[in-house]
Amino acid sequence: MNRRVHFNVEKYEKLLNENLPATSSGLTLKRPDGIYLRTRNAYEQLCQTKGSQPIRREIISLQPYVVLFHGFVTQAEAKNIRKYAMPGLRRSVVASGMNQATAEYRISKSAWLKESAHEVVGKLDQRITLVTGLNVQPPYAEYLQVVNYGIGGHYEPHFDHATSDSSPLYRLKTGNRVATIMIYLSPVQAGGSTAFIYANFSVPVVQNAALFWWNLHKNGQGNVDTLHAGCPVIVGNKWGMFKNKNFHKVTCTAVTNIVHPKIIILSSSTHSPLVQILFKFFSYVQHNRTYTEEWWKPLLYILYFDLYNGCQWLLFFNILQKILFCLHPKKETHKSLELF
Ligand SMILES: O=C(O)CCC(=O)C(=O)O
Ligand SMILES: [Fe+2]
């Protein structure tokens, strides 16, 4: 050690000694008291508990809205899910008119995992709800689907939402797919990215992370910018897990549990008599009240309210009450419409 360095180290150590914390002079460190710290023990414990760490969300794109939640599953969870799905894996299918069929543009195997398959499935549903604010329990959403791509496996550009009324999604009365979350359950040595074609970006496989995006605009129309593909796997084996959140059910959840601003379109073609009555009601109001400019407009965006598909009367009246509140002459602002 040269002399100058030696001198500096001495000086540094002297400084450290001079600025030793109070503990070394016999005083113990004490937490400040204060009523505002009442929850401190619980808070600190939660912060230190493994599994209660904040989720790290990386915003990949705002239009379309695509985010990546890092460390969404643990290594062990990913391994277990692959194990439970393995026996059920079958060649993946795609919608083909009214049916489902295998297709050259989707080369992979997939299996559905119900909550009863293993407790981890329920846990993941809960976690998805926590980060997205969406109720993803069936029947509000589809079951978890595990997908496995071998070398060359891929899924050519497609939309996750239905783009035609003849889609099986409509026939099943599940509504369109409002959002997709895809969890990467394995690393891939080369290839396998998820590419958003019109939006012009791709997301490489990040093991244990979850990619989330909205398929539909807030008005319920499909977002064409979500056209995406699973790129071919070049080296390795890609495992993913999907969850699709369906559309009309959002109406029900949003009313009971106002978690996400989703606007649902009132459709005059819906056959439910109650929807028809509501529609007539809106048309009447629209023609007979003119006190604020287009005040009625947001009302038309309220409900695609398929009462035959699980919404309950109570929810229906809850909505109606809120609508009437919005119609109050003093309420000129659209802000009062914080239904969804
Ligand atoms: O594997 C991917 O990265 C995308 C797959 C996909 O888009 C799908 O299964 O709907
Ligand atoms: Fe997809």
Ion ligand 2 neighbours (CB, 5 A) are: 160
Q: Of the ligands numbered here, which is closest to the C-alpha atom of 229?
A: 1
User: For a substitution probing ligand 1, which of 92, 147, 207 has the most ligand atoms within 8 Å of its CB?
Assistant: 147
Q: Which atom of ligand 1 is nearest to the CA of 110?
A: 9
Report the nearest atom of ligand 1 relative to the CA of 160. 10
pLDDT at position 110 over 60: yes
As a whole number, mean pLDDT of residues 89-104 equals: 81
How far does the centroid of ligand 1 lie from the alpha carbon of residue 6, in Å? 61
Query: What are the tens digits of pLDDT across the range 283-298?
Result: 555 455 443 344 444 4
In this structure, is the dihedral angle defined by the CA atoms of residues 278, 281, 287 and 289, taken in order, positive or negative? negative
Instruction: Catalogue all structural domains in the chain, each as residue range(s) with its CATH number.
Output: 56-246 (2.60.120.620), 256-336 (no CATH)
The rounded distance, in Å, linking the Cα atoms of 280 and 276 is: 6
| pLDDT tens profile 141-200 | 888 899 999 999 999 999 998 887 767 666 555 677 889 999 999 999 999 999 999 999
The CB density around residue 33, as the number of other CB atoms within 10 Å, is 8
Cβ burial 50-89 (10 Å sphere, 16+ → b, else e): eeeeeeeeeebbeebebbbbeebbeeebbebbbebbeeee
Pocket of ligand 1 (CB under 6 A): 147, 155, 160, 194, 228, 230, 240, 242
Amino acid identity, position 39: T
| Paired strand residues for 80 | none
